[in-house]
């Protein structure tokens, strides 16, 4: 496998919402007390915004995070 093939495989990987929720919850735990917005999460986690929004909405509904600005 050459470099471009590896890049294509990496580009296609998109975690599930459940995996994104775990990643985001861990981020919130590591940054407890900080105000976190969607831009912070996109920049820190390198996940697509729609996935982050969906995962955060579910975490908020489950009472696992206080919400995102």
| Sequence spans of domains, the chain | 15-61
Q: Please give the mean pLDDT across all residues of the chain.
A: 87
- Is the Cβ–Cβ distance between 58 and 27 less than 8 Å? no
At residue 66, the pLDDT reads: 83
pTM of the model: 0.78
Q: Confirm if 23 and 15 have CB atoms less than 8 A apart.
A: yes
- According to DSSP H, which parts of 2-48 are helical? 3-12, 17-30, 38-45
Mean pLDDT throughout 53-63?
95
Mean pLDDT of 48-68: 92
Query: Which of residues 3 and 21 earns the better pLDDT score?
Result: 21
């Amino acid at each position: 496998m050459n470099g471009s093939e590896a890049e294509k495989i990496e580009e296609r990987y998109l975690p599930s919402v459940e995996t994104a929720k775990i990643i985001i919850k861990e981020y919130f735990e590591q940054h407890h007390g900080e105000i976190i917005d969607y831009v912070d999460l996109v920049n820190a986690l390198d996940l697509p915004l729609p996935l982050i929004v969906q995962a955060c909405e579910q975490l908020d509904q489950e009472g696992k995070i206080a919400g995102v600005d």
